[in-house]
Amino acid sequence: MATMVQAIRMALHVGEERLGVTDVFGQDLGPPLGGVFTQSQGIKCSWNSPLDERGIIGCAIGLALAGARPVCEIQFCDYVYNIIDLLKLGGGMYWSSNGQWNLPLVMMTPVGSGIHGSIYHSHSFDATATHIPGWKIVMPSNPRDAYGLMLSAIADPNPVMFLAPKALLRAKALPGEEIPGEPDERALSKMIDAPLGDRSKWTPSWPATPDLFIPIGKASTVRPGRDVTCVTYGRMVPLCKKAADELASDGVDVEVIDLRTLIPYDWEHLKESISRTGRVLFVNEDTEVTNFGEHLLRRTVEELFYQLLAPPRLLAGAFVPGVGLADALDTASVPQKTEISSVLRELAGHQP
Amino acid sequence: MSTTPIQEHFYPDTKLSPDVLIRLHELMLRSRLLEERLIRMQKQGDGYFWIGGPGEEAFNVSLGLLVDKGRGPAHDYLHLHYRSSATMVAMGIDPADAMRQMKNTATDPYSGGRNFVNHYSIPEWNVVPVSSPIEVQFSMAPGTALVQKRFGGRGITIVQGGDAGTAEGDFASCLIWSTRPGMELPVLMIVTNNEFGISTPAAEQHGEKRIADRGKAFGMQTAVVDGNDPETAYAAIKQAMDYVRTERRPFLLEAKVSRLYGHSSSSGANFVTGDVDCLARFEKRLEERGILSRAKMDELRVQETQALLEMSKRVRVEPQPKGPTIYDHVFAPTEVGGEARARQDAMCAVGKTAEINNKEQS
């Protein structure tokens, strides 16, 4: 069972072997470390950049303009904020040039809380990211999706942000979340995890890596249900699914949808589910004011108002300047399972 | 403005043939007249905003003549700024296209009426889109140069910005990324120094005496050149280019230039006195040397002025883009995930196209 970080690594390997990736670069992405989360270990075209976020995204844009196909990384999304204008520039390149220049690049960055990263290693980025037109934005919640979405991101001729929920990077795949044909956990680790200590003579032995493209823009129903629709993504997906599974024993049947792609998002999928259940909860961990879930909620009200049986709800992170280090502060900052369960139960019981 | 001393060994020969001097003059004149026409267009309501580079013709025309023009890494990549119109004129643009961008017509070949004047974008010539935020081009230049380093050959990356913009971190990024040990990049970094950042004098903002000296800390070859002198500028650019082409290492060239119509239309775009007019100075020299007579130059000026006026009249009646085209070119067509793309198109179009059409009809 691959972890998400192993899945990303395998996808990058496919990228450089079969999809034309020329560069996997960023701070610490090259040897010997291969990424602070080990995501680029064994990738031949990986290299270490200066510690310069503007330079990283700028170089990626330049590479893409000249016909290369780069995957760059901002080490933590908290450090993306000083490159917002370059993201606007990259996202607008195709549009502002009236379709003359497209940018086939991927910017990956770990996002969200859950590893006790404190104030500058716990931010979410989805609300800000979705406010920068011209980028496609994907966010996997399990290893299989991480693999398939990364392949699609690499193959896409547009700039794509790959937001990796850092709390899930080392989580093992659950049944159904495997990459087809992958070896068992121990064998895979031996093949593609770099050893501790001297790595100068180490080379990975890659397992079979199928062409599993998960289409950008397609959501997935991770748990069907009839009473309430729960729309979420990233780290919140397993949490919402667990809450839904537990509620089932009380007779509350929750449908959980993993958005997987934030832009372009799969409105038809959401619309079908919300129209059927009449009740919806949007869950994510970015701060609640001007949250991406608010956009989905607005559209729900505007287009599905007369199909709703209860006021649509949003559960999101607290609108405070950071995620504190102490456990109680960390958990109070972002939605937790009990809160999710409680709102889902409330929604299920609401009568118009 | 006096000629700043330059490193002698870089410029052994500044003599250009009369043919080249006449060509330089013709292009400098055309560039100047184009900018003056664009300013008039803006003042007459045929455009919302003007920004450009009158005063930089001596340097920028020389640069344009020396560029290896073409598509792909074998040729030069250009990361220019909005004062680079003379470079584009020297490279051979149709001046009407600059007017189309000023008038924001649908026929504007650089942005389809979406971007400001002098924001060029020409894939066929490796001219990457000019950006309004200053200095961001210095962050991108190492990317194209890296491709060229791998590719080999003689193609180089040319990145150009103003003196005020060197305060941005992107300038430092370019210095750092271009000079990593063993990974030096074929980048010609150009700073056109007109000694102003909008209205802020450089003397209030720069502690360093020569901006080019910042390259020395990175082991780069550097030079300062009188950018108002086309002969000196031509030789300096050629020397710097030759170095980058053959050594595959970066070079930082600072050109002292004038800014003859202020920062932009926001500051009035009126002719300023006190700065060297590179065109007037060059014309005087050509006359003194007997290369071109005053009468000949006056005749050329009348012809070019008339031609540009006729062009502007034609451009004025060309169509404007339609509102619903705002949804064109948000994303490049995708082969993988085609179904999802169709949904995105549908998502973008929900209500919006109909709404805009209704507005236009009313």
* Residue A202 three-state SS: coil
Residue B322 sits at the chain A interface (C-beta within 8 Å):
no
| Cross-chain CB nearest to B123 (options A59, A85, A100) | A100
- Residue A307 CA to residue A204 CA, distance in Å, equals 54
| Cross-chain CB nearest to B147 (options A54, A68, A96) | A68
Residue A211 sits at the chain B interface (C-beta within 8 Å):
no
- Provide, as residue numbers in chain A, all residues whose Cβ is less than 8 Å from the Cβ of B159: none
Q: Are the beta carbons of A174 and A297 closer than 8 angstroms?
A: no
CA distance A84 to chain B (A): 12
User: What band does B15 get if pLDDT is binned at 50, 70 and 90?
Assistant: confident
Place of tokens 């470390």: A33
Q: How many CB atoms lie within 10 A of CB B51?
A: 24
Q: Quick one: tokens of A71?
A: 């995957």
Dihedrals phi, psi of A108, to nearest 5 degrees: -105, 145
Cβ contact B139–A55 (<8 Å): yes
* Residue A69 three-state SS: coil
| % of chain A exceeding 70 in pLDDT | 100
- Provide, as residue numbers in chain A, all residues whose Cβ is less than 8 Å from the Cβ of B130: none
Q: Are the beta carbons of A349 and A143 closer than 8 angstroms?
A: no
Cβ contact A99–B328 (<8 Å): yes
pLDDT tops 80 at residue B4: no
Mutate which: A14, A85, A94, A100, vs B, most B CBs within 10 A: A100
Q: Are the beta carbons of A165 and A139 closer than 8 angstroms?
A: yes
- Residue A215 CA to residue A185 CA, distance in Å, equals 26
| % of chain B exceeding 90 in pLDDT | 85
Within chain B, how many helices (H) and strands (E) appear?
A: 11, 7
- Torsion sign over Cα B317, B318, B319, B321: negative
How do strand B196-197 and strand B200-201 relate by DSSP bridges? antiparallel
Residue A160 sits at the chain B interface (C-beta within 8 Å):
no
pLDDT in the model for residue B335: 76
Q: Are the beta carbons of A169 and A3 closer than 8 angstroms?
A: yes
A123 catalytically annotated: no
- Torsion sign over Cα A34, A40, A45, A47: negative
Cβ contact B140–A215 (<8 Å): no
How do strand B77-79 and strand A228-232 relate by DSSP bridges? unpaired
pLDDT tops 80 at residue B8: no
Strand arrangement, sheet containing B187-193: B77-79, B157-162, B187-193, B251-256, B221-226
User: What band does B13 get if pLDDT is binned at 50, 70 and 90?
Assistant: low
Cβ contact A86–B139 (<8 Å): yes
ipTM over 0.90? The verdict is yes
- Provide, as residue numbers in chain A, all residues whose Cβ is less than 8 Å from the Cβ of B129: 93, 96-97, 100-101
Parts of chain A with a pLDDT under 70 = none
pLDDT in the model for residue B9: 43
Identify the closest residue of chain B to A70 by CA–CA distance.
B143
Q: Quick one: tokens of B197?
A: 């950042």
Residue A58 sits at the chain B interface (C-beta within 8 Å):
yes
pLDDT tops 50 at residue B345: no
pLDDT in the model for residue B336: 63
CA distance B271 to chain A (A): 31
Each residue's pLDDT tens digit, B45-59:
999 999 999 999 999
> Identity (one letter) of the amino acid at B321?
P
pLDDT in the model for residue B361: 41
User: What band does B11 get if pLDDT is binned at 50, 70 and 90?
Assistant: low
Cβ contact B337–A216 (<8 Å): yes
> Which pairs with CB-CB distance under 8 Å and at least 24 residues apart come from A297-301?
A299/A267, A300/A270, A300/A274
Q: What's the predicted TM-score (pTM) here? A: 0.94
From residue B35, alpha-carbon distances to A241, A346, B85 in Å are: 63, 66, 8
- Provide, as residue numbers in chain A, all residues whose Cβ is less than 8 Å from the Cβ of B112: 98
Each residue's pLDDT tens digit, B197-227:
999 999 999 999 999 999 999 999 999 999 9
**Considering A13, A116, A121, A269, which one is annotated as catalytic?**
A121
